Amino acid sequence: MSTSVKISREYKEKLDRLQARLYLTTGKKLSQQEVLEILVSIGSDREELLVEMTQGKKPSIKPDDIEAILNTPVDWGQETGEETIDKVLYRE
Task: Look at residue 18 and tell me if it is in a domain.
Answer: yes
Say if CB 35 and CB 22 are below 8 A apart: yes
Task: Look at residue 88 and tell me if it is in a domain.
Answer: no
Range of the domain at 69: 9-73
Task: Look at residue 79 and tell me if it is in a domain.
Answer: no
Query: Rounded to whole angstroms, how far apart are CA atoms 10 and 16?
Result: 10
Task: Look at residue 90 and tell me if it is in a domain.
Answer: no
Task: Look at residue 26 and tell me if it is in a domain.
Answer: yes
Task: Look at residue 82 and tell me if it is in a domain.
Answer: no
Task: Look at residue 24 and tell me if it is in a domain.
Answer: yes
Read off the pTM.
0.56
Q: Does 43 score more than 70 pLDDT? A: yes
Rounded CA Rg of the chain? 16
pLDDT-derived band of residue 6, with 50, 70 and 90 as boundaries?
very high
Task: Look at residue 17 and tell me if it is in a domain.
Answer: yes
pLDDT-derived band of residue 92, with 50, 70 and 90 as boundaries?
low
